[in-house]
Chain A
Amino acid sequence: MNDLRLRLGQNLGLLLAIGLFLLFWLVYNGLHPKGFSTAVLIQNANESFVIGAVAMAQTVPVLAGGLDLSVGAVMTLVNCLASVLVNGSGWQMVLGILVCLAAGTLAGWVNGAVVVYGRIQPIIATLATGAVYIGIALFIRPTPGGEVDGDLSWALTNDVYEFCATYGLFDDGEAAWLAPFAWIPMPMAIMLLVIFLIWIPFRNSVTGRGVYAIGSSEGAAYMSGVRIDRCKIAAFTLAGFFAGLGGLYLALQTSSGNADVPQAGAYTLNSIAAVVIGGTSLMGGSGGAICSLIGAMVIRAISFNFRIFDIAPLLQPLFEGIVLLGAVSIGAARVFRVKNRLELLG
Chain B
Amino acid sequence: MTPDNSPFLELSGVSKRYGGVRALEKVDFACRRGSIHAVLGENGAGKSTLIKIIAGVVQPDEGTMRLAGQQVRFRDPLAANAAGIVCIFQELSLMPDLSVADNIGISNPPRTRLGLIDKRAQRRRTEELLARVGCEDVNPLEQVRNLPLSRRQMVEIAKALGRGPRLLILDEATSALTSSDVLKVYDILKKLREEGLCLLYISHRMHEIEALADTCSVFRNGRHIETFPAGTRSPDEIVQLMIGREMAHVYPPKPEGRGAVPPVLEVQDLRWGDRLNGVSLEVGKGEIVGLGGLDGQGQRELQLALFGVLSGLSGRVLVDGRPVTLSSPAQAKHRSIGMALIPEDRKTEGLMLPMSIADNLGMAAMGSLTSGVFIDPAKERAAIQRMVDKLKIKAGDVANPVATLSGGNQQKVVIAKWLLTEPRIILLNDPTRGIDVGTKQELYQLLRDLADAGASILFYTTDYDELIGCCDRVLILYDGRIVRELQGGEINEKAIVAASLNLGADAKAAPANHSGISP
Contact = CB atoms under 8 A, between A and B. Distances in A.
Given A212-B95, A216-B96, A339-B273, 5 more contacts: A209-B106, A225-B106, A227-B78, A284-B97, A285-B98
Contacts of A219: 91, 93
Range for the number of chain A residues in contact with chain B = 20 to 34
Contact of A223 (B89, B97, B111): B89
Contacts of B261: none
Contact of B95 (A205, A216, A225, A281): A216
Given A205-B116, A206-B117, A222-B77, A339 B312 contact: yes
Interface string B271-300: 011000000000000000000000000000
B143 interface: yes
A341 B326 CA distance: 13
Contacts, number: 97
Contacts of A286: 97
B95 A224 contact: yes
Contacts of B106: 209-210, 213, 221, 224-226
Contacts of B310: 339-341
Interface in A166-214: 201, 204-206, 209-210, 212-213
A224 B115 contact: no
Contacts of B95: 212-213, 216-217, 220-221, 224, 285
A216 B349 CA distance: 19
B114 A201 contact: yes
Interface string B228-268: 00000000000000000000000000000000000000000
A10 B115 CA distance: 26
A340 B309 CA distance: 6
Interface string B71-99: 00000111001000001010111111110
11 contacts: A6-B139, A6-B142, A216-B96, A220-B94, A222-B77, A225-B77, A227-B78, A284-B97, A285-B96, A341-B310, A342-B304
Contacts of B141: 3, 6-7
A209 B117 contact: yes
A209 B102 contact: yes
B57 interface: yes
The list of the 10 closest CB pairs from A to B, nearest first, reads A285-B97, A216-B97, A216-B95, A223-B93, A225-B107, A225-B78, A204-B116, A220-B93, A286-B97, A213-B95
Interface residues of B, number: 41
Contacts of A221: 95, 106
Contacts of A257: none
B311 A339 contact: yes
A210 B106 CA distance: 8
Contacts of A226: 106-107
A205 B105 CA distance: 12
Nearest to A346: B348
A123 to B, nearest CB: 19
Contacts of B91: 219
B143 A10 contact: yes
Contacts of A339: 272-273, 310-312
A96 interface: no
B423 interface: no
Contact of B93 (A6, A204, A209, A224): A224
Contacts of A3: 139, 141
Interface in B100-127: 102-103, 106-107, 109, 111, 114-117, 119
Contacts of A10: 143
B77 A340 contact: no
A2 interface: yes
Contacts of A209: 98, 102, 106, 109, 117
Contacts of A223: 57, 77, 87, 89, 93
Given A219-B91, A340-B310, A2 B107 contact: no
A340 B328 CA distance: 11
Interface centre among B116, B272, B328 (most CB of A within 10 A): B116
B127 to A, nearest CB: 12
A212 B89 contact: no
B92 A220 contact: yes
Contacts of B114: 201
A224 B117 contact: no
A215 interface: yes
Interface of A: 2-3, 6-7, 10, 201, 204-206, 209-210, 212-213, 215-217, 219-227, 281, 284-286, 338-342
B301 to A, nearest CB: 8
Nearest to B343: A342
Contact of B309 (A205, A210, A341): A341
A341 B311 contact: yes
Contacts of B115: 205
Nearest to A340: B310
Nearest to A204: B116
Contact of A217 (B81, B94, B301): B94
A338 B81 CA distance: 39
Nearest to B55: A223
A204 B116 CA distance: 6
Contact of A224 (B97, B107, B142, B272): B107
A215 B95 CA distance: 9
A71 to B, nearest CB: 23
Nearest to B82: A225
A77 B312 CA distance: 53
A217 B309 contact: no
A213 B116 contact: no
Contacts of B93: 219-220, 223-224
A198 to B, nearest CB: 13
Given A213-B95, A225-B77, A205 B142 contact: no
A210 B105 CA distance: 11
A226 B81 CA distance: 11
B129 to A, nearest CB: 15
A201 B116 contact: yes
A2 B142 CA distance: 10
A340 B313 CA distance: 10
Central interface residue in A216, A224, A339, by most chain B CB within 10 Å:
A224
Contacts of B81: 225
B57 A205 contact: no
Nearest to A222: B77
A289 B496 CA distance: 52
Contacts of B311: 338-341
Contacts of A341: 309-311, 328
Interface string B38-79: 000000000000000000010000000000000000001110
B117 A205 contact: yes
Contacts of A210: 106
A220 B104 CA distance: 12
A285 B492 CA distance: 46
A338 B304 CA distance: 14
Nearest to A210: B106
Nearest to A213: B95
A339 B271 CA distance: 12
Contacts of B97: 212, 215-216, 281, 284-286
A220 B115 CA distance: 24
